[in-house]
């Protein structure tokens, strides 16, 4: 059975993941409006990943006998100054999410909730990957600078990203 405090915290994180998906979908729309379909694709894939993360929380709460409680999702920003400022926002957002996940791990440890702690370790690892991915794109944007041909080349590279759910997620859909 899921502790009430842990259930509340996990529900808050589920909603934070939904917001992340919403934010990245907004960024995708921004890039689409700037005629950067590769950047838009990267963000759309990111939005799909965040939605999958939310569903992992949804399923876990239910599996532990808790009650999922969806909350209002705040509207995300819709405009950014440039691709660089957008990815600076992405990196800052992912660092915030890392802090939220670490707080959940601390809560699970405090409550001696070993099942939640074990579940959250996947997200600890995932956040390392998320921050590295955002940082990698940001560094490439900085290298390209204001070179239009470099930006178009990077746009083509980002357009190759595809959403691939983890193996355990794929098995459930077959």
Q: Containing domain of residue 38, as a range? A: 4-163
For residues 53 and 20, is the Cβ–Cβ distance under 8 A?
yes
CATH, residue 33: 1.20.1260.10
The number of C-alpha atoms within 13 Å of 70 and in the hemisphere containing its C-beta is 8
Q: Is residue 91 part of a domain?
A: yes
User: Which residue in 15, 41, 135, 26 sits closest to 77, CA to CA?
Assistant: 26
Q: Is residue 172 part of a domain?
A: no
Count of domains for the chain: 1
User: Which residue in 129, 10, 18 sits closest to 64, CA to CA?
Assistant: 10
The number of C-alpha atoms within 13 Å of 32 and in the hemisphere containing its C-beta is 11
Model pLDDT, residue 167 = 73
Q: Is residue 174 part of a domain?
A: no
Q: Is residue 170 part of a domain?
A: no
Please give the chain's pLDDT, 174 residues, in tens. Answer: 899 999 999 999 999 999 999 999 999 999 999 999 999 999 999 999 999 999 999 999 999 999 999 999 999 999 999 999 999 999 999 999 999 999 999 999 999 999 999 999 999 999 999 999 999 999 999 999 888 899 999 999 999 999 988 776 555 444
Model pLDDT, residue 173 = 45
């Amino acid at each position: 059975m899921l502790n009430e405090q842990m259930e509340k915290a996990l529900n808050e994180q589920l909603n934070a993941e939904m917001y992340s998906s919403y934010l990245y979908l907004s960024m995708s729309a921004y890039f689409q409006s700037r005629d950067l379909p590769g950047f838009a694709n990267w963000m759309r894939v990111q939005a799909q990943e965040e939605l999958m993360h939310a569903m992992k929380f949804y399923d876990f709460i239910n599996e532990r006998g808790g009650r999922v409680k969806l909350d209002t999702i705040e509207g995300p920003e819709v405009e950014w100054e440039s691709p660089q400022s957008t990815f600076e926002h992405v990196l800052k957002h992912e660092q915030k999410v890392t802090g939220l996940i670490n707080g959940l791990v601390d809560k699970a440890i405090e409550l001696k909730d070993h099942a939640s702690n074990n579940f959250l370790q996947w997200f600890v690892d995932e956040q390392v990957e998320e921050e590295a991915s955002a940082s990698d794109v940001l560094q490439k944007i900085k290298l390209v600078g204001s070179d239009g041909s470099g930006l178009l080349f990077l746009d083509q590279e980002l357009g190759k990203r595809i959403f691939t759910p983890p193996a355990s997620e794929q098995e459930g859909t077959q």
